[in-house]
Amino acid sequence: MLSIDILLNAIVTGILLGSVYASLALGLGITFGILHIPNIAHPTLVVAGAFFVYTLAQWGFDPIIAAVIGLVPFYLLGVALYAFYSTVFERKGGANVLQSLTLFFGLSLVIEILLSLGFGSELKSVSVSYIGSSLKLGVLTVPYRLLIPALLAPVTIAAVWLYLSRTNSGTAIRAVAHEERALSIAGLNPASVKRHAFGIATATAVIAGAALIMVGPIEPFAGRYQIGRVFAIVVLAGMGSIPGSLVIAIIIGIAEALVSSYLNPSWSPGVAFAILLLGLALRPQGLFGAAR
Amino acid sequence: MKKSSLLFLAGVIIVLALGFLMPWLLRNPFYFFAGYVVLQYVTIATGWNILGGYAGYINFGAAGFFGAGVYLSAFLFTTFGLPLPLCILASGVFGAILGVLMGYLTLRIQGVYFAIATLGLVVVLETIVHNISGLGGASGMAVYGPRPPAWSPGPSQFNFTVMLVIAVASVALARWVEISWIGRGLRAVRASEDAAECSGVPTLRLKLVACALSGAVLAAAGAPYPFYTSFVEPVTAFSLVIGLNAIAMPLIGGTRTWVGPVIGALLLASVQQIATVTISSELNILFVGAVLIAFVAFAPGGISDLFGRNKGRARS
Amino acid sequence: MTEPVLSLKGVEKLFGSFRALGPVDLAVGAGERLGIIGPNGSGKTTLINCITGVYQPDKGSVHFEGRDISHLQAHKRARMGIARSFQIPRPFTGMTVLENLLVPLDYCAVEGSKDERARSVLASVGLSARISDPSEKLTQLELRKLELARALVGNPKVLIADEAMAGLSEEEIDEVLAILFALNRSGVAVIMIEHIMHAVMRFSERVVCFETGRLIASGSSSEIAENPLVQKVYFGE
């Protein structure tokens, strides 16, 4: 009877959710999409970012301000992670994908446990005045707790994309995976370019973390439910296509919202994964990536 | 038969004989209760290594296969009263099908996609089980296992012996794969997929065979679990600890031969069984995670490479 | 030319809208020594990949011994007798030198004892002393030899040597050339892709030159060296 209302609300919720997912996937789009480092710890880093924001929010900071403060420590954390990764693997003449996967898997577990030891395993949330209410537009009801984080994502993505495409150091990052030698000839150190890129990718995790904890309460192991989503987004967008990732993320968000509304919310964790498998089977090179 | 195969066969017979005799010699059922878990991990590590070690394709979703085995076996037993050996067999077949399905969808592209897909497998299977009320949904279901036969003194001892038979069969399967043409082909795939293909190795088919065998062993490892705990629920059947141990044990023991996962599982699972008495499960995961990182970073050949005769072998 | 063992008719390979190769017509005679030259990115590697089956051509056909193999998988082509070595050696690490040769022997039908066949091939390329060493321990030259030995152990009818001499010294180049000449004398057609001009010119009965995915010149070594199109590609105007 009210199916149009439900449909409209589901689609709008899906678009907003998708936008949040896109910000979760942004860092992975840099590490995996551009640098080809399969950083499966990224969703856990986002959760760590959420706990960072939670901690500052306890001291009275606004979550978005807290995320901006977090950029520097998370950038440094990323630089340190890459330094560890590269000293372990790249000196042996190129990293083995499977070993690096295992390394990041172990790393994500350690981070999760440390978070759980530090904060306990209960759900944590932030409360801000503007999060509680909803925006009503005709039949649409849009909660601010979803709207604000959803607006955060395109801004972050646009900033990162402008940086990557318009600045010299951004261009160096995009070039480093393919033209390492050319980069050295141009007088840039590929290792430091990658370290910088990894730092930026990790810094985006704290913004995504702020978005995540604003949308809903979070626990230390929440990252694992995001893994399917973020990889689906990066892979299906076509490795390295950051604007494309926003589109794919929104498609996934809408699909999940529709499944939640019409089937049962308990089915939605599987949606992204199903889309990923389908996408891999049908179009392995990604939907927006250059066919190779 | 080669000398090494005769030795292996002798070892298998001794281990099996001990497995049937021990329950009558050691009276305390706790040893068998703890021993079951150790043997379960020997099976899991061995199964994981067929694909992960020999072919170099990392499966993060061991818990998905294990949980599928747990639930299928519980379902077949409680609904149809299928005898235990058939439950185990059915779980194995189901695991093989699941493995081939996963492999077929993702292996044509690159190893990294397979790994990512397996990460999602656990979430999906858990979601499915959550939504099937016939399987108890999120709250789980009770399973009253078969009465132990006369040759076994009690349920703990019986479960132990069943798991031992599965573990030995799995190790024998892994060893056969390793020394056969399949094993050599898989190792070639691990070293260089293109070069293997251009040497006449049907790489995709071999990888699918490995997926099937690995999936079968992982799922079979879960089949007796409902009878061991008398209760199944999604959280334990698809536990993170299983996925972690499945990777950590072979990597710590060494992935190149069947011995590595066995050593890794015996060591790590025993430590965990002793440690659960004294430390929390969180510290347990922290410990395994840290050991895993240390081995991947600094000793990728595992223990069998550190102490083995292949000391000079380069790491790849 | 003798009866062609391998022939390409109108073969094209596109990546998206980028035409990496073709259309190319090329026939290789049984037992021929064919050199392929051309600058980087001229389509040589794509050509090999279309022949060996890493890629399937988008248009045209590849025939081997009269059979259309355009859509066969790479391993099937290898078993039929199309072997290749890789530009950057790809030994099967974790295996000994001998085991490296047992891999193709396991999967390609070869008569007689596998072990003996592997040993005799290793002897013919001068790797007898390294037979039970792990392949990771070989020198650059030895890796090149292993690459060739692994390619020819399955008794191929065509061997594609992809820059088998890059980075080697003059004496080492002579060694590799001697192996290829000996192989060719036993009736195997050898396709040599090479940037080291004097080596290709010395080895090949016929040389073809590629530029931007197309075959622009074909002829004997001396004809190719004097061809104005080839000179333009290599030296500009």
Mean pLDDT over residues A170-176, rounded? 82
What's C96's DSSP letter? B
Of the listed ranges A81-95, B127-141, C111-125, C217-231, the least confidently predicted one is: A81-95
User: Does residue C115 fall inside a structural domain?
Assistant: no
ipTM, two decimals: 0.89
Name every chain C residue with its beta carbon within 8 A of the beta carbon of B309: none
- Residue C8 parent element (H or E): strand C4-15
Q: Is B123's CB within 8 Å of A269's CB? A: yes
The pLDDT value recorded for residue A291 is 36
List the single residue in A88, A227, A269 with the smallest CB-CB distance to B119.
A227
Q: CA of B31: how far to CAs of B28, B54, B268, B278, in Å?
A: 6, 32, 16, 17
List the single residue in A103, A116, A266 with the smallest CB-CB distance to B282.
A116
Q: How many domains does chain C have?
A: 1
The Cα of C207 is separated from the nearest Cα of chain A by a number of Å equal to: 30
User: Does residue C143 fall inside a structural domain?
Assistant: no
Q: Does the structure show a pLDDT above 90 at C52? A: yes
User: Does residue C17 fall inside a structural domain?
Assistant: yes
The pLDDT value recorded for residue A41 is 92
Write out pLDDT tens, residues A33-69: 888 888 889 999 999 999 999 999 999 899 999 999 9
Q: Is A266's CB within 8 Å of B285's CB? A: no
* CATH value at residue C52: 3.40.50.300
User: Does residue C34 fall inside a structural domain?
Assistant: yes
A107: contact with B, CB 8 A cutoff: yes
Q: Does the structure show a pLDDT above 60 at B100? A: yes
> How far apart are the C-alpha atoms of C47 and C11, rounded to whole Å?
9
Asked if residues A262 and A9 have their Cβ atoms less than 8 Å apart, the reply is no
C181: contact with A, CB 8 A cutoff: no
pLDDT averaged over every residue in chain B: 88
Write out pLDDT tens, residues A234-268: 888 877 788 888 999 999 999 999 988 888 877 88
> How far apart are the C-alpha atoms of B15 and A262, rounded to whole Å?
55
Q: Is B191's CB within 8 Å of C73's CB? A: no
Q: Is C79's CB within 8 Å of B188's CB? A: no
Mean pLDDT over residues C19-40, rounded? 90
Query: A97-119 and B240-253 helices cross at what angle (nearest 10)?
Result: 130
Residues of the domain holding A259: 3-282
Name every chain B residue with its beta carbon within 8 A of the beta carbon of C78: 197-200
Mean pLDDT over residues B1-26, rounded? 88
C15: contact with A, CB 8 A cutoff: yes
Closest residue of A to B243, CA-based?
A105
Name every chain C residue with its beta carbon within 8 A of the beta carbon of A291: 15-16
Asked if residues C208 and C217 have their Cβ atoms less than 8 Å apart, the reply is yes
List the single residue in A116, A269, A277 with the smallest CB-CB distance to B117.
A277
The pLDDT value recorded for residue A120 is 86
A181: contact with C, CB 8 A cutoff: no
The Cα of C222 is separated from the nearest Cα of chain B by a number of Å equal to: 33
Write out pLDDT tens, residues B38-95: 999 999 999 999 999 999 888 989 999 999 999 999 999 999 999 999 999 999 999 9
Q: Is A97's CB within 8 Å of B111's CB? A: yes
Q: How many domains does chain A have?
A: 1
Name every chain B residue with its beta carbon within 8 A of the beta carbon of C79: 200
Asked if residues B64 and B238 have their Cβ atoms less than 8 Å apart, the reply is yes
- Where does chain A have alpha helices with state H? 3-28, 42-58, 63-88, 97-119, 144-166, 168-176, 180-185, 190-215, 224-237, 242-262, 269-282
DSSP SS3 for A270: helix
Write out pLDDT tens, residues A104-148: 988 988 999 899 999 988 898 887 777 677 787 777 788 888 888
* CATH value at residue A14: 1.10.3470
Asked if residues C108 and C78 have their Cβ atoms less than 8 Å apart, the reply is yes
Q: Is C78's CB within 8 Å of B197's CB? A: yes
User: Does residue C57 fall inside a structural domain?
Assistant: yes
The pLDDT value recorded for residue A209 is 95
Provide the β-strand partners of residue C189. Answer: C158
The pLDDT value recorded for residue B312 is 41
Chains B, C: CB contacts under 8 A, how many?
A: 90
Mean pLDDT over residues B257-283, rounded? 84
Residues of the domain holding C174: 4-91+156-235
Which of A277, A285, A292 to probe the B interface (max B CBs under 10 A)?
A: A277
Name every chain A residue with its beta carbon within 8 A of the beta carbon of B300: 99
Q: Is B313's CB within 8 Å of C73's CB? A: no
